[in-house]
Amino acid sequence: MEQVFASVVFNRHLTGDYWLLEAEAPALAASLLPGQFVNVRIEGSAAPYLRRPFSVYRVSRDRRRLQIAYKVMGEGTGLMTSSIRENGRCDLIGPLGHGFSLPANAKRIAVVGRGIGIAALPTLADEAASRGIEVHAFLSARTRPNLVALDIFAEYAFPVVTHTDEARANALVTDALAALAQKVRFDAFYVCGSNRLARAVHALAQKQNVPAEIAMEQHMACGFGDCHGCVIAVNLRPSRGEKAFKEVCHYGPVFQTWEVVDASA
Ligand X SMILES: Cc1cc2nc3c(=O)[nH]c(=O)nc-3n(C[C@H](O)[C@H](O)[C@H](O)COP(=O)(O)O)c2cc1C
Task: Give the binding site for ligand FAD (CB under 6 A).
Answer: 37, 48, 50, 52-55, 69-71, 73-78, 116, 119, 217-220, 253
With CB under 5 to 8 Å by kind, the binding choice for 116 among ligand FAD, another protein, ligand FES, none is: ligand FAD
- Between residues 47 and 104, which has the closer beta carbon with respect to another protein? 47
With CB under 5 to 8 Å by kind, the binding choice for 245 among ligand X, ligand FAD, another protein, none is: another protein
Q: Rounded to an integer, what distance in angstroms lies between the CA atom of residue 56 and that of residue 21?
A: 10
Q: Could you say whether residue 228 binds ligand FES (CB under 6 A)?
A: yes
Q: Rounded to an integer, what distance in angstroms lies between the CA atom of residue 47 and that of residue 252?
A: 27
- Between residues 16 and 253, which has the closer beta carbon with respect to ligand FAD? 253
Q: Could you say whether residue 229 binds ligand X (CB under 6 A)?
A: yes
If you compute the radius of gyration of the chain from its CA atoms, what whole number of angstroms results?
18
With CB under 5 to 8 Å by kind, the binding choice for 217 among ligand X, another protein, ligand FAD, none is: ligand FAD
Q: Could you say whether residue 49 binds another protein (CB under 8 A)?
A: yes
Q: In terms of Cα–Cα distance, which of 112, 82, 100, 99 is closest to 21?
A: 82
Q: Rounded to an integer, what distance in angstroms lies between the CA atom of residue 86 and that of residue 89?
A: 8
- Between residues 78 and 103, which has the closer beta carbon with respect to ligand FAD? 78
Contacts of 6 (CB under 8 A, 6+ apart): 23, 24, 25, 28, 66, 89, 90, 91, 92
Give the one residue of 30, 73, 227, 244 binding ligand X; rule: CB under 6 A.
227
Enumerate the β-bridge partners of residue 135: 109
Residues of span 202-261 touching another protein by CB under 8 A: 218-233, 244-245, 250
| The CA-based dihedral angle spanning residues 215, 129, 163, 234, taken in that order and rounded to the nearest 10 degrees | -20
Q: Is the peptide bond before 34 cis (omega within 30 degrees of 0)?
A: no
- Between residues 23 and 249, which has the closer beta carbon with respect to ligand FES? 249
Q: 30 — alpha (psi -120 to 50), left (phi > 0) or beta?
A: alpha
Q: Rounded to an integer, what distance in angstroms lies between the CA atom of residue 11 and that of residue 17?
A: 14
Binding site for ligand FES (CB under 6 A): 220-223, 225-230, 247, 249-250
Binding site for another protein (CB under 8 A): 1-3, 41, 46-51, 93, 218-233, 244-245, 250
Binding site for ligand X (CB under 6 A): 227, 229
